[in-house]
Amino acid sequence: MAEAFLAEVDAAITNGRIAELSSNSGGIKLVWSKTLKTTAGRANWRREQIRLRSGPLPSDTRVEIRHYCSIELAEKVIDNEERLYNVLAHEYCHLTTFMISEVRNNPHGAEFKSWGAKVTAAFKTRGIEVTTKHSYKIDYKYIWECVACGYEFKRHSKSVDPVRHSCGRCKGLLVQTKPCPRGGAVDKDGKKQSGEYQVFVKENFSRVKKEMDRRGEETAMGKVMAAVAKDYKKMKAAKAKEVESQVDDLEAAIEGLMI
Residues 128-147 that bind Zn ion (CB under 5 A): 146
For Zn ion, which is the closer residue by CB, 24 or 103?
103
Helix axes 2-14, 81-99, angle to 10 degrees: 40
The pairing of beta strand 174-178 with beta strand 41-53: unpaired
Give the closest residue to 99 by CA, choosing from 87, 112, 110. Answer: 112
Rounded-to-integer distance, Cα 124 and Cα 18, Å: 21
DSSP SS3 for 192 = strand
For Zn ion, which is the closer residue by CB, 57 or 225?
225
User: Residue 138 Cβ, how far from Zn ion at the closest point, in Å?
Assistant: 18
Q: 25: which DSSP letter?
A: G
User: Residue 184 Cβ, how far from Zn ion at the closest point, in Å?
Assistant: 18
Neighbours of 4 (CB within 10 A): 8
CA 148 distance to own-chain centroid: 24
User: Residue 70 Cβ, how far from Zn ion at the closest point, in Å?
Assistant: 14
Residues 145-184 that bind Zn ion (CB under 5 A): 146, 148-149, 151, 167, 169-170, 172
For Zn ion, which is the closer residue by CB, 24 or 39?
39
DSSP SS3 for 190 = coil
User: Residue 73 Cβ, how far from Zn ion at the closest point, in Å?
Assistant: 13
Rounded-to-integer distance, Cα 188 and Cα 178, Å: 19
Q: Is the peptide bond before 162 cis (omega within 30 degrees of 0)?
A: no
For Zn ion, which is the closer residue by CB, 24 or 33?
33
Q: How many residues make contact with Zn ion (CB under 5 A)? A: 8
For Zn ion, which is the closer residue by CB, 66 or 155?
155
User: Residue 58 Cβ, how far from Zn ion at the closest point, in Å?
Assistant: 44
For Zn ion, which is the closer residue by CB, 27 or 41?
41
Give the closest residue to 99 by CA, choosing from 36, 31, 23. Answer: 23
User: Residue 38 Cβ, how far from Zn ion at the closest point, in Å?
Assistant: 12
Residues that bind Zn ion (CB under 5 A): 146, 148-149, 151, 167, 169-170, 172
